[in-house]
């Protein structure tokens, strides 16, 4: 099973990225503090000076102190209760005492009572004692006598103001309650008047009795109507099935047991077989017997006769055939009895229809009587309900009036006995001189100045996107590989080129590190031979880095050609102290072959192709086939061809020439280059499909801990050898 292999350094975890970001911020603020510490000292000094000037410039002040105490208040709900005042009340006291209106009233009072005292400004401050209801009123003024008099006048005016406010509030409350009492009294009188008029127009006793009788009579009528409706429904069922109805009537009479015999036993007995068929003994029954009509009695007798004939026929059929005269006689008599039974059934149905019509008329009469009684009952019930409503309304109005009247009396008694719950605890003390404490204002000025300095520095830092450290660069450009960091050289003027056995060990080691990064980097293919070094903007040390890198590569034994491709302002030849012409510009224009313009340098294996004369249309020359042919020849003759180019954002030369080379190295000057400019330049190169091999961080600060071996400068200096050590080392070398 295949697995995707990831080389070390190709990807970083999110945790490592967060560490880089945090480290970058820390290093940035550390560098900011190291460079701008004097600004914090300046702002702190300004804060201290401002506080000192404020204290020394303040005129002589005198202070007088007085105290107020706040109590509780009466609360009137259903009962009168005492409640302590809360924080909102305390805030009201403070705002009132410090208000301009109170000061104006106090000033008027002072002028009226002490006309000989000269006015002066007095500042009033009120503070509540923590955990208590005591207020400390502090008056500060330039005249001690006037300050005390003014504070006493302020206390008197405050108490008088509260008294007037309380009296106004009491008057408003009492006025509202009195208006409510008058309204309730009017409502009560109107309710009583309506009740009296109703009683005068209606005898409530007669109405109540009539309503009860009407309800009783209405119940009887409804009971009768339901009975008639039940009888009517029974008749409908009987008409639908007369035989079933007569059987039910016969069973009912048999269950009652009246007369000791059934209706069927009272029927006429059938005579002998010789008796004519259909003969019935009428003397056995009489009309209305057992509550039955004559037709119903005849029906039952006939039905009984039919039953006897069927029994007799069944017995004869056992002995004789159907053609026998006796069997035929009985059969004929049975048919006659059935016809007679149907006749009686029709007669019974006619009688039932007559009864139904009579019952329906009775139900209609009962409906009319019930409707009339219902109207009468509704009228009486409405009058009773109206009487009850008026009586309850009058009672409620009377209770509301009496309750409100009692509350008004309670309020009046409370107002008469209530005292103000804010009182003067201590009058104004004699004014004493205010001695300012210098420590706290100076500390406040120091802290405020330093805080303002920090805010200003952070604000400027937010606007400044220059990168100060490796961690910050990694946080902003995590996808770019850093080939190395060149430490900052603090000497004045131009930085001298590297030379063999250079005593700038940190500086030389940085370029060796860059060289190793180029030689051993995983280039995903053939290592580059033609390398272009550029930057985003001028003054990033690109030319010095290019020259020193070429020297370092040559010192390693590689044949190196250093070409100045900055055809506008190139200065590589000045660093090597060689003439700038003829050079690359003449070779591109075809005035001479590039080999004829190559110059030897003082460094072994390093040749220089200077800039040449300045001319226009440099981008066109770099895009020509002459440039491509020249690159091919240079690559065949030298191990490495290193070009110094113009900044990417200054001219189009670099962006036009860079795609033709194997790799491009981007130089970023720490604490100088803006991140947005570097990002814009890199984006432009990527858009031209340039192979960016990495980034060199120039002029990095070696004081930061993240610069690893840069902090071990003593490692590069050999210790002085003593006389006793030299023979021992020589012996060790021989062994």
Query: Average pLDDT of 645-661?
Result: 91
| CA distances for 361 relative to 218, 233, 354, 357, 371, angstroms | 19, 14, 11, 6, 16
Across the chain, mean pLDDT equals 79
Token representation of residue 56: 């020394």
Token representation of residue 634: 């240079």
Place 261 in a pLDDT band, splitting at 50, 70 and 90. Answer: very low
**Residue that terminates a domain, selected from 320, 352, 370:** 370
Do 551 and 578 sit in the same domain of this protein? Answer: yes
Q: Is the pLDDT of residue 621 over 80?
A: yes
Say if CB 548 and CB 511 are below 8 A apart.
yes
Query: Average pLDDT of 28-46?
Result: 84
- Number of structural domains the chain divides into: 3
DSSP for 374-396? HHHHHHHHHHHHHHHHHHHHHHH
User: Helix or strand or coil: residue 470?
Assistant: helix
Query: Which residues touch 570 (CB under 8 Å, ≥6 apart)?
Result: 543, 564, 580, 610, 611, 644, 646
Per DSSP, helices labelled H in 241-293 are 242-256
Specify if 46 maps to a domain.
yes
Query: Which residues touch 98 (CB under 8 Å, ≥6 apart)?
Result: 124, 125, 126
Specify if 447 maps to a domain.
yes
Do 590 and 607 sit in the same domain of this protein? Answer: yes
Q: Is the pLDDT of residue 313 over 90?
A: no
- Find the range with the poorest average confidence among 389-393, 520-524, 660-664: 389-393
Do 597 and 676 sit in the same domain of this protein? Answer: yes
Place 708 in a pLDDT band, splitting at 50, 70 and 90. Answer: low
Question: Residue 490's domain is classified under what CATH number?
Answer: 3.40.50.300
Do 583 and 680 sit in the same domain of this protein? Answer: yes
Long-range contacts of 365-369 (CB under 8 A, 24+ apart): 366/221, 366/224, 366/225, 366/228, 367/225, 369/221
Specify if 595 maps to a domain.
yes
| Confidence (pLDDT) at 715 | 58
Give 357-384 pLDDT, tens digit per residue. 888 888 888 888 888 877 877 877 777 7
Place 666 in a pLDDT band, splitting at 50, 70 and 90. Answer: very high
- Round to whole Å and give the CA distance between 118 and 104: 15
For residue 582, say if its preceding peptide bond is cis, omega within 30 degrees of 0: yes
Q: Is the pLDDT of residue 707 over 70?
A: no
Residues of the chain with pLDDT > 70: what percent? Answer: 82
Say if CB 624 and CB 617 are below 8 A apart.
no
Do 459 and 492 sit in the same domain of this protein? Answer: no
Query: Average pLDDT of 159-183?
Result: 79
- Find the range with the poorest average confidence among 216-220, 303-307, 443-447: 216-220
| Confidence (pLDDT) at 457 | 83
Specify if 239 maps to a domain.
yes
- Find the range with the poorest average confidence among 69-83, 491-505, 609-623: 69-83
Query: Average pLDDT of 532-558?
Result: 93
Do 666 and 616 sit in the same domain of this protein? Answer: yes
How many alpha carbons fall within 13 Å on the CB side of residue 452? Answer: 13
Closest CA to 579 of 603, 550, 601: 601
Closest CA to 654 of 528, 575, 486, 537: 537
| Confidence (pLDDT) at 502 | 83
Q: Residue 63 belongs to what H/E stretch?
A: strand 62-70
Query: Average pLDDT of 454-483?
Result: 84
Question: What domain range is 447 assigned to?
Answer: 14-58+436-463
Do 357 and 444 sit in the same domain of this protein? Answer: no
Do 273 and 336 sit in the same domain of this protein? Answer: yes
Q: Is the pLDDT of residue 623 over 80?
A: yes
Closest CA to 285 of 253, 243, 317, 327: 253
| Confidence (pLDDT) at 416 | 57
Give 89-111 pLDDT, tens digit per residue. 778 888 888 889 888 988 898 88
Do 457 and 503 sit in the same domain of this protein? Answer: no
Q: Is the pLDDT of residue 617 over 50?
A: yes
Cβ atoms < 10 Å from Cβ of 320: 13
Work out the burial of residue 650: count CB atoms within 10 Å of its CB; fewer than 13 is exposed, 13-18 middle, 19 or more buried. Answer: middle
Say if CB 594 and CB 634 are below 8 A apart.
yes
Cβ atoms < 10 Å from Cβ of 292: 20
Closest CA to 105 of 162, 56, 58: 162
Place 555 in a pLDDT band, splitting at 50, 70 and 90. Answer: very high
| Confidence (pLDDT) at 689 | 92
| Confidence (pLDDT) at 304 | 85
- Alpha carbon of residue 515 to chain centroid: 57
Token representation of residue 52: 């000192």
The radius of gyration of the chain from alpha carbons, rounded to an integer in Å, stands at 64
- Round to whole Å and give the CA distance between 692 and 648: 13
Q: Is the pLDDT of residue 262 over 60?
A: no
| CA distances for 470 relative to 30, 546, 701, angstroms | 13, 20, 10
| Confidence (pLDDT) at 632 | 92
Query: Average pLDDT of 247-252?
Result: 78
Do 261 and 317 sit in the same domain of this protein? Answer: yes
| CA distances for 550 relative to 352, 499, 511, 535, 610, angstroms | 138, 11, 9, 17, 14
Specify if 136 maps to a domain.
no
More confident residue, 595 or 92: 595
Give 49-84 pLDDT, tens digit per residue. 988 888 777 777 888 889 888 765 555 555 555 454
pTM: 0.47
| Confidence (pLDDT) at 420 | 57
Q: What are phi and psi of 374, to 5 degrees?
A: -65, -45
Specify if 637 maps to a domain.
yes
Residues, the chain:
735
- Could you give the angle at the alpha carbon of 574 between the alpha carbons of 658 and 515, nearest 5°? 50
Q: Is the pLDDT of residue 657 over 70?
A: yes
| Confidence (pLDDT) at 260 | 41
Q: Is the pLDDT of residue 283 over 70?
A: no
Place 249 in a pLDDT band, splitting at 50, 70 and 90. Answer: confident
| CA distances for 399 relative to 185, 197, 198, 395, angstroms | 10, 21, 21, 6
Query: Which residues touch 164 (CB under 8 Å, ≥6 apart)?
Result: none
Specify if 416 maps to a domain.
no
Do 587 and 480 sit in the same domain of this protein? Answer: yes
Strand order from edge to edge, sheet including 606-609: 482-487, 692-700, 663-669, 530-535, 640-644, 560-564, 606-609, 598-600
- Alpha carbon of residue 562 to chain centroid: 64
Say if CB 68 and CB 93 are below 8 A apart.
yes
Cβ atoms < 10 Å from Cβ of 696: 28
Specify if 188 maps to a domain.
no
Q: Is the pLDDT of residue 564 over 50?
A: yes
b/e sequence 538-556, b meaning 16+ C-beta within 10 Å: eebbbbbbbbbbbbbbbbe
Do 450 and 574 sit in the same domain of this protein? Answer: no
Say if CB 470 and CB 706 are below 8 A apart.
yes
| Confidence (pLDDT) at 259 | 47
More confident residue, 539 or 24: 539
More confident residue, 79 or 355: 355
């Amino acid at each position: 099973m295949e697995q995707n292999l990831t080389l070390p350094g190709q990807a970083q975890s999110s945790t490592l990225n967060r560490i880089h970001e945090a480290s970058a911020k820390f290093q940035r603020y550390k560098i900011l503090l190291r460079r701008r510490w004097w600004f914090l000292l300046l702002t702190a000094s300004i804060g201290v000076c401002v506080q000192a000037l404020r204290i020394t410039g303040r005129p002589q002040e005198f202070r007088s102190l007085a105290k107020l105490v706040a109590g509780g208040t009466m609360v009137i709900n259903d009962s009168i209760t005492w409640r302590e005042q809360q924080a909102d009340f305390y805030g009201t006291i403070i705002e009132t005492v410090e208000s301009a209106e109170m000061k104006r009233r106090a000033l008027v009072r002072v002028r009226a009572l002490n006309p000989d005292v000269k006015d002066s400004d007095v500042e009033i401050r009120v503070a509540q004692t923590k955990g208590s209801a005591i207020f400390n009123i502090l008056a500060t003024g330039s005249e001690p006598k006037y300050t005390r008099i003014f504070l006493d006048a302020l206390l008197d005016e405050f108490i008088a103001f509260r008294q007037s406010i309380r009296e106004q509030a009491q008057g408003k409350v009492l006025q509202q309650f009195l208006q409510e009492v008058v309204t309730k009294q009017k409502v009560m009188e109107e309710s009583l008047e309506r009740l009296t008029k109703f009683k005068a127009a209606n005898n409530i006793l007669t109405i109540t009795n009539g309503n009860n009788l009407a309800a009783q009579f209405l119940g009887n009528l409804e009971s009768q109507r339901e009975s008639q409706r039940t009888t009517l429904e029974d008749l409908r069922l009987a008409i639908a099935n007369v035989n079933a109805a007569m059987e039910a009537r016969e069973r009912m009479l048999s269950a009652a047991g009246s007369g000791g015999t059934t209706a069927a036993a009272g029927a006429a007995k059938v005579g002998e077989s010789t008796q004519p068929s259909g003969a019935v003994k009428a003397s056995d029954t009489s009309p209305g017997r057992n509550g039955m009509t004559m037709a119903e009695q005849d029906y039952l007798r006939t039905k009984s006769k039919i039953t006897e004939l069927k029994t007799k026929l069944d017995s004869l059929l056992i002995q004789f055939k159907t053609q026998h005269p006796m069997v035929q006689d009985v059969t004929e008599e049975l048919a006659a009895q059935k016809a007679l039974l149907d006749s009686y059934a029709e007669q019974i149905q006619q009688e039932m229809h007559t009864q139904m019509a009579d019952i329906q008329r009775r139900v209609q009469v009962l409906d009319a009587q019930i409707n009339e009684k219902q109207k009468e009952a509704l009228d009486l019930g409405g009058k009773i309900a109206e009487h009850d409503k008026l009586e309850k309304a009058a009672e409620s109005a009377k209770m509301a009036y009496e309750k409100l009247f009692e509350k008004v009396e309670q309020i009046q008694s409370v107002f008469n006995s209530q005292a103000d719950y804010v009182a003067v605890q201590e009058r104004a003390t004699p004014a004493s001189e205010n001695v300012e404490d210098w420590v706290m204002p100076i500390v406040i000025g120091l802290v405020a100045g330093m805080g303002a300095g920090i805010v200003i520095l952070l604000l400027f830092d937010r606007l400044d996107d220059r990168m100060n450290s490796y961690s910050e660069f990694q946080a902003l450009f995590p996808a770019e590989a850093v080939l190395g960091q060149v430490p900052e050289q603090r000497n004045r003027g131009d930085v001298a080129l590297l030379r063999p056995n250079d005593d700038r060990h940190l500086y030389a080691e940085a370029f060796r590190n860059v060289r190793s990064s180029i030689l051993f980097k995983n280039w995903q293919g053939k290592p580059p031979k033609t390398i272009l070094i550029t930057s985003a903007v001028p003054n990033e040390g690109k030319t010095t880095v290019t020259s020193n890198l070429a020297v370092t590569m040559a010192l390693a034994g590689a044949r190196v050609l250093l070409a100045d491709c900055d055809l506008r302002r190139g200065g590589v030849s000045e660093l090597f102290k060689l003439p700038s012409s003829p050079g690359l510009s003449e070779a591109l224009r075809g005035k001479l072959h590039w080999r004829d313009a190559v110059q030897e340098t003082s460094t072994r294996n390093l040749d220089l192709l200077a800039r040449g004369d300045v001319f226009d249309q440099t981008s066109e020359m770099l895009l020509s086939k002459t440039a491509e042919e020249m690159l091919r020849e240079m690559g065949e003759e030298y191990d490495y061809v290193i070009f110094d180019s113009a900044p990417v954002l200054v001219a189009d030369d670099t962006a036009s020439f860079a795609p033709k080379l194997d790799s491009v190295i981007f130089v970023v000057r720490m604490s100088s280059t803006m991140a947005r400019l570097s990002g814009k330049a890199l984006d432009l190169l990527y858009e031209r499909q340039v192979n960016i091999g990495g980034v060199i961080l120039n002029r990095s600060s070696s004081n930061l801990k993240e610069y690893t071996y840069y902090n071990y400068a003593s490692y590069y200096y050999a210790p002085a050898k003593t006389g006793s050590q030299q023979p021992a080392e020589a012996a060790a070398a021989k062994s």
